[in-house]
Amino acid sequence: MTDPVNRTILLLDIERFSDRDDVEQAYLRRMLYDVTDRVLESAGIDETRRLRADRGDSVMELIDAGVPITALLRALLTDVPAELRAVNRTASSSAQIRLRGVVAAGWVAVDERDGWVGSDLNHACRLLDGQILRAALRERADDFALCVSDSVYQGVVRHGHLGVPETEFHAVTVDSKNGPLNAWLHGSVPAGVAAEDHGGTGKGEAPGGSGDRPAPRVPEQGGPASDRGAPAPGPVFQGALTIGGGSIGGGTVSGDQNNVTGNQIGGDFTIGGGRGGRGEGA
């Protein structure tokens, strides 16, 4: 395996690719690579400064770290929607192409089989497959949804560079099998997945749940008494109860009583040394 090198990571994936037949898939692949090439060229990134991996319905680009990420982001935000509109205007309804995109940065090495390895690359792929990015694309009219890693946002986007509006990016948390990943979604966060895939655990949900299955539910604490239900019935006491040999205020309690924990006390009882019978002392 080669030594890890620092690279900008670009991922683009075709929505609903497996729903198409072979002819349509071949067409969509051509459109994906044509759009990618034109967008990268407009960002000043020629073939000598990037390395491509073919993933069937998606493309992965490792871009030289010396290329400004701002140029790449500007091209993605403006050129990709325009390119997709131009392509889809002449395509049939079954051959429309819509894309999810991720921009990340990190260390990547090449193994002995020319495969790319690295935790930063793995994280970028999980952002691409996250439900929140898929849901965001379903709501978009411009056929493109983009997400950037937290490191790209903190290092570049949040500083308000020309053509990269930081106010249009929103913090999201994407569940993965290795735990939650912080990222930034361009455009509004889809409300339908906000509780499930945005912001960690939900109300009444235990932290630390796997990304493969929901965390176990935990009963809520501290709500109104009407929400918690009646307490379980406690033991029942019958007859007279005397506490101590002295008198405490001379008070007498008559009749059946229910205490705050649900225990029931039947009959008369006396606190102190006096008699606590019904009607006595009235």
**Comparing 82-86, 108-112, 196-200, which segment has the lowest mean pLDDT?**
196-200
pTM score, whole prediction: 0.68
Q: What is the pLDDT at residue 191? A: 81
Work out the burial of residue 14: count CB atoms within 10 Å of its CB; fewer than 13 is exposed, 13-18 middle, 19 or more buried. Answer: buried
What are the structural domains of the chain?
Answer: 5-197 (3.30.70.1230), 230-275 (no CATH)
Q: What is the pLDDT at residue 193? A: 65
CB 13 within 8 A of CB 116: no
Q: What is the pLDDT at residue 217? A: 35
CB 162 within 8 A of CB 148: no
Q: What is the pLDDT at residue 12? A: 97
